[in-house]
Structure 1
Amino acid sequence: MTVPDAAELRRRTQDLLAAHPPATTGRTAFLRARFDAGLAWVHYPAGLGGLDAPRSLQPVVDAALAAAGAPDNDPRRIGIGLGMAAPTLLGFGTDEQKQRFLRPLWVGEEVWCQLFSEPGAGSDLAALGTRAVREGEDWVVDGQKVWTSSAHLARWAILIARTDPDLPKHRGISYFICDMTDPGVEVRPLRQITGEAEFNEVFLTGVRIPDSRRLGLVGEGWKVAQTTLMNERVSIGGARIPREGGMIGPVARTWRERPELRTHDLHQRLLALWVGAEVARLTGTRLRQQLVAGQPGPEGSAMKLAFARLNQEISGLEVELLGDEGLLYGDWTMCRPELVDFTGRDAGYRYLRSKGNSIEGGTSEVLLNIVAERVLGLPAEPRNDKDVAWKDLAR
């Protein structure tokens, strides 16, 4: 098949709009038709929502559809599926798994979550203790996961569990797709400093997962998980945003609209952070261009580091700029939000919520090690447990 160019993608987009006018076509029906036309993610294979086209041509399709008033798939709501589950399924899933999961994932009919971190295995994820034991054609899973975004909304989860405790911790891990509606899956809310509970802890008790929902080979789950984690960091730190998008936008608007709040010191700090945010935005653009040639690398860790630092410093500046108003906090009540909304809330929420940015998606300390070793080529930290069986590790 000839690789489509920009003109061909525009033609296909117009054909889609003519056959399924957004004004008279239901949202789900339109999104399904878009997926089937190969215009969901154009760089994916034909038949799986794409056309084997260059990733760089996706904006051509997105712009034409937006101009026509076509609905999007609410990417923030299904970000874990789009940013983590989908590329992992594409890289390691069987043909049957790709056909079953990718279309409803992209359309947003099925929400995904990520069952990775555990109470005793957060920064050191490879030390995880959730066990999966083979029984015939099933795996029986027991354990606990924590900090699971969207678990209260999700139908499916990407899950890593230990299948061989006699091997060192990075080996003997396998990767599964878990049905969140199955017996033995219990989701409990975790209330955060914001008063909300967007995160959860998940308890797995005798959960049976068919071997047909395993991704990758038995015992090679860490290799599969690296694909998920690298894509996660890119999706968190390298998202496409306009100039003054993200956290810097509300602060810049307040500065322009309320001159009575300005001081020389805050002006200098705002300028430095504005430049930092713009550098991060442009670096994210370059990173996405690199993705055209292959899978994300450790550079995504540097982007996620910058994202966390900037968000925390910008939100701190915003609270100072607003003075007494910055200490106000809206409605500190327990709720279960579907989305994390940084820009549509008050300064107090942004200040509190940004504290989690240096933890979620990999702690800043771990990411600094990744950048040091895999980007800068510095000597690795000594690791005395690499060849020790997991069952013999001190816990």
Structure 2
Amino acid sequence: MTSNPPDHSGPGDGSDHRPELESVADFERRARSWLAAHGRRRVPGSNDSLALFPEWERPESATWVDDARMWLTARHEAGFAGITISRASGGLGLTAEHQHAFESAESEYETAPDEIWAIGHHMVIPAIDRFGTAEQRRRFIVPGLRGDLVFCQLFSEPDAGSDLAGLRTTARRDGDAWIVDGQKVWTSVAHVAHYGMLLCRTDPAAPKHRGITCFLVPLDSPGVTVRPIRQITGGSAFNEVFLDGVVVPDELRLGAEGDGWAITRTTLNLERVSLSLAGPNTDPTRLIALARERGVAGDAVVRQSLADVVTRRRVTELTSARVTDVSRSGGDPGPLASTLKLLSTELLRTMGHTAALILGASLVADTGEWGTYAWGRQILETAGLRIGGGTDEIQRNVLAEGILRLPRDPRPATASEV
């Protein structure tokens, strides 16, 4: 876990690069010019990895956090950080479409794994911008945008993953502080984060969707223990976090006491959108090139499967554009965010099926050939994305109830009702 850096809070640099009416096209041209001058383009075929999560077991991971901080600092100083964050909080105050344009261009360049900052920039910082006090916005947003602070999300629990409102981690008021006890699981970057966005039950007598409060907890606090989780791939991209009598000052409470569920819903929608994949690991051209290399591009079944991937990718991109339009107009994507998340995971599942169809035994036998055995990792990790941000089954329930207006699932009986 990284120790807290000096406080660099305050308004950000690059204010000359925040034109209120700059078109997306002009913004993207300016961004691409900066990226070309300061970044290093990805070379197709230079990296065999198809991992969907950071491979922290790799030797080069030792420099990732420092590399990410240097990149984010440069990006902030150039005026490309906090694109959708309000100007009052140190952001650019532009639209989700501007952000998508920059991130699409940035994905063409080599950077430290964006998972290091994605949770902070896509979920935690927007939540602080919307729900935080003036002091919290001053203290956390610009340092987070610059890379001086890394954030993680402490939501899921061993018995409260898909049913997040059933969380059991508690926070008990003690004067001007709260005493937190509980456990969180499947936490990305917790081992390098400075703060965690923490959900706790503060009123055990309230209905389960109420009585939940959100905090920003320092992860170097006494009583916080972070342990890596070994996954099916052999790596450890996630952690479990134990909180044993952790003292959290009330000034680090985000939003009003008992209003945690409203923050949760907003953050989960942001998470579902951020988990929708449009990066290099879902680019159909790599699968097409693989089919040609293996000499099966003319096979009718393979061609049909490739066409399915291309179609799903395009539908996902169009749905992402719809979400962008809703967000740009100030609306709540709601069930549309669940649609996008579900389309993204189905795209990954279809890509894995197609890779298996093309590769056969080469998928599971490492012969050292580029672009063969590496697909196994993507297939295994797809299961994680079908769980993170709400399982596929939860997304379908959201669509059934929010769009089709079907009745809710029956509530399981409690022990007292049996």
**TM range, smaller chain:** 0.7 to 0.9
**Superposed counterparts of 1:32-51, under 5 Å:** 32=73, 35=76, 39-51=80-92
Percent identity, aligned pairs only, is 38
Establish whether residue 99 from structure 1 lines up as the match of residue 138 from structure 2.
yes
Shift in Å at residue 45 of structure 1?
A: 2.1
- Which 10-residue stretch deviates more, 311-320 or 247-256? 247-256
Structure 2: stretches of 5+ with no match in the other structure: 1-17, 40-66
**Other-structure match for 1:231:** 270
Shift of 1:95: 0.9
Change (3 A) 1:240 1:311: closer
Cα deviation, residue 358, structure 1: 1.3
Does residue 377 (structure 1) correspond to residue 413 (structure 2)? The answer is no
Secondary structure of the residue aligned to 1:134 is strand
What are the Cα deviations for residues 118-163 of structure 1, in whole angstroms up to 9, with x where unaligned? 1111111111110100111110100011111111121111110010
How far does the alpha carbon of each residue in 1:335-387 deviate from its partner, in whole angstroms, 9 at most, with x for none? Answer: xxxxxxxx9980111111112221111111111111111133333334478xx
* Map of 1:363 onto structure 2: 391
The one-letter code sitting in structure 1 at the alignment partner of 2:286 is P
Equivalent residue, structure 2, for 1:302: 339
Q: Is it true that 1:166 corresponds to 2:205 in the alignment?
A: yes
Report what 1:285 is aligned to. Answer: 321
In structure 1, the residue matched to 2:20 is: 3
Q: Matches of 1:264 and 1:63 in 2, distance apart? A: 32
TM-score, normalised with respect to structure 1: 0.81
Match of 1:88 in 2: 127
Deviations 1:38-80 (A, max 9, x none): 542343222433343444345677799999x9x9786342111
Note the C-alpha offset of 1:330. 8.9
Shift in alpha-carbon separation, 1:61–1:140, aligned structure 2, 3 A:
same
Higher deviation after alignment, 96-105 or 154-163: 96-105
Gaps (5+ residues) in structure 1?
332-342
Q: CA RMSD in A?
A: 3.6
Deviation at residue 85 of structure 1 after TM alignment:
0.5
CA contact (8 A) 2:70 2:147 kept: no
In 2: Cα distance, 1:211 partner to 1:45 partner: 25
Q: Tell me how far apart the structure 2 counterparts of residues 267 and 94 of structure 1 sit (CA, whole Å).
A: 55
> Does the Cα contact within 8 Å between 2:24 and 2:101 map onto a contact in 1?
no
d(CA) in 1 for partners of 2:107, 2:341: 28
Query: Do the aligned partners of residues 116 and 29 (structure 1) sit closer, same or farther apart at CA in structure 2, a change above 3 Å counting?
Result: closer
Structure 2 counterpart of 1:338: none
Cα distance, 1:125–1:277 mapped onto 2, change above 3 Å: same
The whole-number CA distance in structure 2 between the counterparts of 1:273 and 1:155 is: 39
Q: Does structure 1 residue 138 correspond to structure 2 residue 177?
A: yes
Alignment of 1:1-395 (within 5 A): 3-6=20-23, 31-32=72-73, 35=76, 39-58=80-99, 75-237=114-276, 239-241=277-279, 246=282, 248-260=284-296, 263-294=299-330, 295-328=332-365, 346-383=374-411
Deviations 1:183-216 (A, max 9, x none): 1110111111111111111110011111101111
Paired amino acid for 2:116: R
CA distance in 1: counterparts of 2:127 and 2:367, whole angstroms = 39
